[in-house]
């Protein structure tokens, strides 16, 4: 299993609006692509020197091939919508994690 992790630091002034949009619009749109098994959103409990509030959204995917398909077919448009809506108000980075074992 692959976990596609998106970590975002969002400006405090729009954090509540952004969080609602993520939960009601963006994450459901990502899940509706059919490329992911589940999603989990967490708040990072570390204060950043740059300010803002940091969240991590983890999308579980059955394989790297499925994630690659998502990256080609769906990610560009979804990321463009995201950036257009919140440009200059966030920083984001994405990481891929391979699940080795679950307990």
- Averaged pLDDT, 77-103: 93
Q: What is the pLDDT of residues 6-62, one digit of tens each?
A: 999 999 999 999 999 999 999 999 999 999 999 999 999 988 788 899 999 999 999
| Residues present in the chain in total | 103
Task: Provide φ and ψ at 102, rounded to 5°.
Answer: -125, 145
Burial of 19 (0-12, 13-18, 19+ CB in 10 A): middle
Q: Are 23 and 41 in contact (CB under 8 A)?
A: yes
Task: Provide φ and ψ at 34, rounded to 5°.
Answer: 80, 5
Q: Rounded to whole angstroms, how far apart are CA atoms 14 and 39? A: 22
| This prediction's pTM | 0.91
């Amino acid at each position: 299993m692959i976990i596609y992790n998106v970590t975002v630091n969002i400006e405090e002034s729009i954090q509540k609006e952004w969080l609602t949009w993520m939960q009601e619009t963006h994450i459901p749109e990502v899940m509706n692509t059919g490329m992911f098994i589940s999603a989990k959103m967490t708040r990072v409990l570390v204060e950043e020197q740059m300010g803002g509030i940091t969240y991590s959204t983890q999308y579980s995917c059955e394989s790297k091939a499925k994630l690659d398909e998502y990256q080609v077919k769906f990610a560009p448009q979804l990321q463009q919508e995201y950036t257009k809506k919140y440009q200059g108000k966030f920083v984001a980075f994405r990481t891929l994690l391979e699940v080795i074992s679950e307990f």
